[in-house]
Amino acid sequence: MVELVPKHPSGGYILEELHVGMRAEKIIPVTEQRIQQFADASDDFNPVHMDEAFAAKTAYRGRIAHGLLTASFGSAVVGTHLPGAGAIYLSQTLGFHLPVRIGEEVLVRVSVKSVDQESARVELDCEGFVDGKLVMDGVALVRVPRRRRPAKA
């Protein structure tokens, strides 16, 4: 059973609250500003992302977003929603299926695939869609807190 879950009031789910089938989604717009900021942060200024005249002559017939920018949108869900605050990425597989362009919106969907109580690790299916078409997918492995930190007095 798939269960769309709200953000946890504390900011993150702990290990004991997670179960297979939990899902969270977020829509993230791909903007010129995001592409520029990602290029600045990653030092990836490939002209297929940055130069319309160059990109127009490629198989993509125009600029496309960095694949890892699109993939990073999964981190927005994992780090702030499901599991949320305290989750630490250990690994991520990725597959890119279609290009993403400026002006498009990516629906990011993260679903709990498995929960390992012993190791405090959770596998998450991560998918990105544009207009209902799968643009990227993969599996994340994250470590999740077993308990919440007490509030500071």
pTM of the model: 0.89
Q: Is it the case that residue 148 has pLDDT exceeding 80? A: no
At 60-81, the pLDDT tens digits run: 999 999 999 999 999 999 999 9
Which residues does 142 contact at the CB level (< 8 Å), separation at least 6?
Answer: 78, 83, 87, 88, 89, 90, 121, 122, 124
Q: Which pLDDT value is given to residue 6?
A: 87
At 37-61, the pLDDT tens digits run: 999 999 999 999 999 999 999 999 9
pLDDT band at 1 (very low <50, low <70, confident <90, very high): low
Q: Which pLDDT value is given to residue 145?
A: 93
The 3-state DSSP class for residue 71 equals helix
CA 132, 134, 136, 137 torsion: positive or negative?
positive
